[in-house]
Structure 1
Amino acid sequence: MSKRKIQTVLLSLIGAAVLLTSSLQTPREADAAEKRPNLRKMNVDEFFTDHDGTFILRDLKNEKTFIYDNQRAKQRFAPQSTFKVPNALIGLQTGAVKDEYDIKYWDGVKRELDIWNQDHTLGSAMRYSVVWYYQAMARDIGEDRMKEWIDKIAYGNQDISGGIDQFWLSSTLKISPLEQTDFMEALYKEKLPFDKSVMKTVKRMMIQEDEDHYTLYGKTGSGSGIGWYAGFVKTENGVYSFVTNIDGTGTEAKSMTMDILNKYILY
């Protein structure tokens, strides 16, 4: 057989293999593409009829970002209890707490939520947003170490001058919804300057729903009339970081977020 005929046969075989591979992959890929939201065409106006606010959804696979109210997305607000996420990362990294099961004992002071009036672990205090636990941990971290790590992760305006156990609560520390989205993306991808084990622990504590087709990670925050819900969701068709920031409460921000995710992502 001539050299040219051999090349022709080889090219034909390669072409057949490519076609076979394409035919095997196309249905799954087409199905995933059909389910993946078109971030340029998302319309969330209906969810903001009762609240002023912003919503950001970032497709981490395709690096596309949808923003509702671009101006507010760039405005900085106090992080409130969404700061429990970086606080936990810093606490674990510095050894202020050993692990997610590290107990702090209730001081006997009655607080507004009954669930707060008991002993808590790092994990349960994240789940129930127990402010006193994370304030105590911040004091254990100390101002110098806290400032060092806030600077390392370039968290918002990096201003902790409002007091070691108050600076994130309607005080000096401010962060924009877009900056929160970047932070959540970096945490999901484990690109922050913490030990991998530390980031994995905090992500595990953030799980709020673990269903057959998706896992939702998030944290609410409320204060001074502002509500947050920030996190990321892992689905069969991709991973998305999200942030909702509204004039309202964290509970309301979460409810709005879930309505949007159910319409466009979770089905």
Structure 2
Amino acid sequence: MKQLKNLAVLLVLLGAVVLFISVDPPKESYAANNNLNMKKIKVDEFFTEYDGTFILRNIKNGRSFIFNIDRANQRFAPQSTFKIPNALIGLQVGAVEDEYDIKYWDGVVREIEVWNQDHTLGSGLRHSVVWYYQAMACDIGEERMEEWIHRISYGNRDISGGIDQFWLSSSLKISPIEQAKFMEALYKEKLPFDKSVMKTVKRIMIQKEGDNYTLYGKTGQGSDLGWYVGFIEAGNQAYSFVTNIVGTSADAKHITMDILKKYHLMTE
């Protein structure tokens, strides 16, 4: 009887070891099965010329794929991806009334031609108009901005770099994994903002629509840093995504769209 008990204990221990080994993910990339068969997702081919990371997360079941998990956990300046929380905060505190709220061009000629005109909250996000969102950040003010950055637990929450500069290669930093979680919370409308505020910002994030998908996104550009973050509705599924590379935001967006097309999340 004692030998049988010992054998039973040994089998339980062996089973636990096998289970532990079976769920331990590789270091560089890992995936979980979903309707896209995410175990078979392969994105190495899109990063042959770039040091970067890519995250794709099924919002409905929480299963994720991460390429280059080391970089995915590093924090970087959000650059113009911060226009998303900036817009949310601005609307919530009344610094702007709605997506059509106009700020008038100050006459200073800037390097991007489309910036040299009046803009609204919506057009400012779509064209990544830095001066508009800097002006709105000043209207929000340091005290309210800091309060809301802490309420949404945005990255390292450090706005010490100046009210109109802290997200631009300055004090505020956020990791790609934190970006992905923020995008998912926005999609689900689980952030501590009014529902109408979140719906407005989601609407102005729309970049492309097809018969079977809607793509929401925002680029961010720094020195040797490119972001593209957002989410996509495809059929009855929704996925958040983040691409972060040593390169340009245009390259990050191009990589993202190529991956989404390869796996038929974007179809014409």
Query: What TM-score comes out, normalization by structure 1 length?
Result: 0.86
* Match of residue 176 from structure 2: 177
| RMSD of aligned alpha carbons | 1.2
* Match of residue 245 from structure 1: 244
* Match of residue 164 from structure 2: 165
Q: Which amino acid aligns with 1:83?
A: F
- Does residue 37 of the first structure (1) align with residue 36 of the second (2)? yes
SS of structure 2 residue aligned to 1:215: strand
Q: Which amino acid aligns with 2:71?
A: R
**Superposed displacement of residue 41, structure 1:** 1.9
* Match of residue 131 from structure 2: 132
**Superposed displacement of residue 170, structure 1:** 0.1
Please give the alpha-carbon distance, in whole angstroms, between the structure 1 residues aligned to 2:34 and 2:154.
Answer: 33
* Match of residue 79 from structure 2: 80
Q: Pairwise mapping of residues 138-217 of structure 1 onto structure 2 (< 5 A)?
A: 138-217=137-216
Please give the alpha-carbon distance, in whole angstroms, between the structure 1 residues aligned to 2:260 and 2:236.
Answer: 13
Please give the alpha-carbon distance, in whole angstroms, between the structure 2 residues aligned to 1:40 and 1:176.
Answer: 24
**Superposed displacement of residue 249, structure 1:** 0.9
Unaligned runs of 5+ in 1: 1-33
Please give the alpha-carbon distance, in whole angstroms, between the structure 2 residues aligned to 1:40 and 1:168.
Answer: 35
CA offsets 1:155-178 (integer angstroms, 9 cap, x no match):
000000000000000000000000
CA offsets 1:198-243 (integer angstroms, 9 cap, x no match):
0000000000012110000000000121000000000104100000
**Superposed displacement of residue 36, structure 1:** 2.9
Preserved contact between residue 82 and residue 230 of structure 1 (Cα < 8 Å): yes
Q: How many residue pairs align between the two structures? A: 234
* Match of residue 53 from structure 1: 52
Query: What TM-score comes out, normalization by structure 2 length?
Result: 0.86
Q: Which amino acid aligns with 1:62?
A: N
Identity %: 72
* Match of residue 266 from structure 1: 266
CA offsets 1:66-99 (integer angstroms, 9 cap, x no match):
0000000000000000000000000000000000
Please give the alpha-carbon distance, in whole angstroms, between the structure 2 residues aligned to 1:126 and 1:211.
Answer: 21
Q: Give the number of the structure whose alpha-carbon radius of gyration is greater.
A: 1
Please give the alpha-carbon distance, in whole angstroms, between the structure 1 residues aligned to 2:203 and 2:35.
Answer: 25
CA offsets 1:32-59 (integer angstroms, 9 cap, x no match):
xx99322222110000011110000001
**Superposed displacement of residue 266, structure 1:** 2.5
Q: Following TM superposition, where does structure 1 have runs of at least 4 consecutive aligned residues deviating by more than 6 angstroms?
A: none
* Structure whose residues are more often helix by fraction: 1
SS of structure 2 residue aligned to 1:199: helix
